[in-house]
Structure 1
Amino acid sequence: MTVKHTLSVLVEDEAGVLTRIAALFARRGFNIESLAVGSAESSGVSRITMVVPGDNRTVEQLTKQLYKLINVLKVQDVTGTPCVERELMLIKINATTSNRAEAIELAQVFRARVVDISEETLTIEVVGDPGKMVAIIKMLGKFGIRELARTGKISLVRDSGVNTELLKTLELKV
């Protein structure tokens, strides 16, 4: 069964590492649905967080192939692991004086911030898990989306081991 896997990859911070990883995926015909790269906790090390579709066997093979690349230090499939996941999105919507208050109120429900305003548009900054992004896009869609930019998911394993997704399902049952 194909599911979306989140891979956290620590690499040496050197030119060409990301190109080699992308080439590895391209050669095998795999799509990277989300990609975020930035400095990690150690100097000279970057963390690449990517979301890739595939079954468990395929992702295991990709992990083995990633380890064969010289600059790859650690690969972790954090898909089934309790994690803190976040994404940043900027969304520009149509907003006139007649509907601006409704759009701002809706943004506040999602704890989003208005970062730019014009006579015809609002630009809203949203930070949260990928599910929140989908929900706010759906709700703001009625205003007309002019532009949208997303960073891609970043993720760190929860040392507490608390699975917030499990807690959400328990809250719904109560």
Structure 2
Amino acid sequence: MLMKPIQPSRPADPVERHTLSILVDNEPGVLARVIGLFSGRGYNIDTLTVSETEHERQVSRITIVTTGTPMVIEQIRHQLERLVPVHRVADLTVQGEAIERELALVKVAGRGEARVEALRLAQAFGAQTADATLESFVFELTGSTQEIDRFIGLMSSIGLVEISRTGIAAISRGAEGM
């Protein structure tokens, strides 16, 4: 009986986080087609933001943060480019340092010392007080995902009630547009 030599296993490609910016026609069904591409192939979306960016041309910008191997990210980009309503796809992660921000509304309940501590932490993070009652606050914080995660982590020990996050909005640095 012949035995095949055991091949040394090739190290798996690392999973990377990428921010994709997609310019699309602002028309019904476009978002569903883009999302369908991801769900139909089993790709995950970490965050998703969409907004009209050019009213006169009826163009919207979709910002998607996803993870995958470099080959999978490249495949996603090429498949997005083939969709009819898509004008352009940019991988902001590959292009260099992009500016990424996220908005969070964080509701914290507490009385006495917990209330004072919540206000102190909010001030340290540069969060604005969007609403205040005798028993709770709603803080508005804009920053990097990591900064928002740290703020939420600290508020968890004080009296975190609820969180609403926008997902990442991103744009490339420099004078060039998409």
**TM-score, length basis structure 1:** 0.88
Paired residues for 1:109-148 under 5 Å: 109-148=124-163
Quote the RMSD (CA, aligned, Å): 1.5
Structure 1 residue 49 corresponds to structure 2 residue 51: no
**TM-score, length basis structure 2:** 0.86
Q: Select which of 18, 41, 60 maps to 2:31.
A: 18
Question: Alpha-carbon deviation of 1:41?
Answer: 4.3
Paired residues for 1:26-45 under 5 Å: 26-41=39-54, 43=56, 44-45=58-59
Structure 1 residue 100 corresponds to structure 2 residue 115: yes
Rounded Cα–Cα distance in structure 2 between residues aligned with 1:109 and 1:7:
31
Structure 1 unaligned blocks of 5 or more: 162-174
Rounded Cα–Cα distance in structure 1 between residues aligned with 2:139 and 2:110:
11
Structure 2 unaligned blocks of 5 or more: 1-13
Paired residues for 1:67-82 under 5 Å: 67-80=81-94, 81-82=96-97
Rounded Cα–Cα distance in structure 2 between residues aligned with 1:155 and 1:50:
9
Which range moves more in the overlay, 129-138 or 92-101?
A: 92-101
- What count of residue pairs does the alignment treat as equivalent? 161
Give aligned-pair identity as a percent. 38
Question: Alpha-carbon deviation of 1:124?
Answer: 0.5
Structure with the greater alpha carbon radius of gyration: 2
Runs of 4+ residues over 2 Å off in structure 1: none
Tell whether the 8 Å contact from 1:97 to 1:119 is kept in structure 2 after alignment: no
Question: Alpha-carbon deviation of 1:160?
Answer: 6.8
Opposite residue 106 of structure 2, the aligned amino acid is I
- Identify the residue that residue 18 of structure 2 maps to in structure 1: 5
Question: Alpha-carbon deviation of 1:157?
Answer: 0.3
